[in-house]
Amino acid sequence: MDAVVTASGLRTPAIRIVREGRILPASSFTRAASIAGQALTGLVDARRVLDEVRGGATVVLQGLHRYWPPLTDLITALERELGHPCQANAYLTPAGSQGFAPHRDTHDVFVVQSEGAKTWRLGEEGEEEEVELHPGRVLYLPTGTRHSARAQDDLSLHVTIGINQFTWRGLVRRALLASLDEIEDGHLPAGWLDDPTEVVEGLRQRLAAVAEQLATSDPTTVVVAHEQDFLTSRPPRLAGGLVDALRGDDVDDDTPLRRRSTSTSVLRGGQDNGLRLLLGDRTVDMPAWLRPAMEQILAWQQFRPADLAETLDPQSRIVLCRRLIREGLLTPVR
């Protein structure tokens, strides 16, 4: 936390400061600078942040999973396991202070206490229950749970893991939107305000057409499209990728390789009976005959290209492994 706040060049909106329920304006703890003559705004002014903390303010690091590797690993694994977008924030609160006023979140939250102690008040006003968290304890807050928290006798640090759930309503909306594409986007008739009857009948016909389209639509198509959108819109996880790009062509049959723990990897059928690898931020299309080799690679944590001898000839397995290094799924063991 110290390194991120005081020495990382952090910028808003990755950081917020809150005091007793009030979010402080960014101008109160940031400064401007320039790089190569270009203005750079929203830079954290470490001295001003420290002054705010001494005055009882809470520092919030937002989207911490984007730049703190242990949380990157955790969030990637959770998204793959749960099938829902996840995020991580951190909250540093001085002794005896409270950040946010009682509020509700629109997503599920897991609170992981890391340092110090914090007392949480949960439930409706007048009916609250108190829970005190110490390092290593985890509190689950279902969507909509009213809550607030106050640090105890020492500085408190906790991390929240937010689960931004996909919903049945969202999936049904996707199916409806696909059916709406079949309805022409023509204008309502001129003068319809004087006699809406024609519009009512026209709407009835179009609603019937949408209902018919929905009744014959394939739910598999909707779910597959939803899955592909999710598994191609995650941030790329490419730590070490620069070195891989420079040395990836040095791979031979005996080079030890490992699958990146932070890389989402799902194998599905592709176009023209081919193979499609979903890698979190993109897709890779392959011929279907590579399926046995790809299934082996995705099942192993570490291997050598020579281990693919039962499914691929020497040249094919080297080409495949080099390609997967470029795509970020594999990395040489150093």
Cα 310 from Cα 46, distance rounded (Å): 57
Q: C-alpha distances in angstroms, 219 versus 174, 254, 280, 283, 327?
A: 10, 45, 23, 22, 31
201, containing H or E segment: helix 197-216
What CATH class does 2-163 carry? mainly beta
- Domain edges within the chain: 2-163, 168-185+195-218, 241-332
Cα 257 from Cα 308, distance rounded (Å): 12
Residue 155 has pLDDT above 80, yes or no: yes
Q: Dihedrals φ, ψ of 18, to 5°?
A: -130, 135
One-letter amino acid at 113 equals Q
| Contact assessment for residue 62 and residue 10, using Cβ atoms and an 8 Å cutoff | no
- Give me the mean pLDDT over the 87-107 stretch: 96
Q: Give the model's pLDDT for residue 93.
A: 97
Q: Give the model's pLDDT for residue 178.
A: 86
Nearest to 1 by CA among 74, 125, 88: 88
Residue whose structure tokens are 């598999």: 220
Residue 272 has pLDDT above 80, yes or no: no
Range among 66-70, 161-165, 249-253 with highest mean pLDDT value: 161-165
pLDDT tens for 286-301 read: 999 999 999 999 999 9
Mutual angle of helices 168-180 and 197-216, in 10-degree steps: 110
pLDDT tens for 308-318 read: 999 999 999 99
Q: C-alpha distances in angstroms, 144 versus 18, 96, 189, 291?
A: 21, 26, 45, 44
- Which pTM value belongs to this model? 0.86
Average pLDDT, the chain: 93
One-letter amino acid at 313 equals D
Which residues, including other chains, have CB under 8 Å from residue 91's CB and lie 6 or more apart? 58, 59, 60, 61, 99, 156, 157, 158, 159, 160
Cα 157 from Cα 116, distance rounded (Å): 7
Residue 136 has pLDDT above 80, yes or no: yes
Q: Give the model's pLDDT for residue 309.
A: 97
CATH 3.40.50.2300 describes domain 241-332:
no
Q: What's the pLDDT band for 248 if we cut at 50, 70, 90? A: confident
Range among 111-120, 211-220, 263-272 with highest mean pLDDT value: 111-120
Structure tokens given for 151:
């640090």
Nearest to 60 by CA among 202, 159, 200, 186: 159
Q: What's the pLDDT band for 247 if we cut at 50, 70, 90? A: confident
pLDDT tens for 171-188 read: 999 999 988 888 888 899
Query: DSSP of 128-175, one letter per residue?
Result: -EEEEE-TT-EEEE-TT--EEEEE-SS-EEEEEEEE----HHHHHHHH
Q: Give the model's pLDDT for residue 249.
A: 81
Bridge pairing between strands 22-23 and 30-35: unpaired
* Peptide bond between residue 85 and the one before it cis (omega within 30 degrees of 0): no
Q: Do domains 2-163 and 241-332 have the same CATH topology?
A: no
Cα 297 from Cα 303, distance rounded (Å): 8
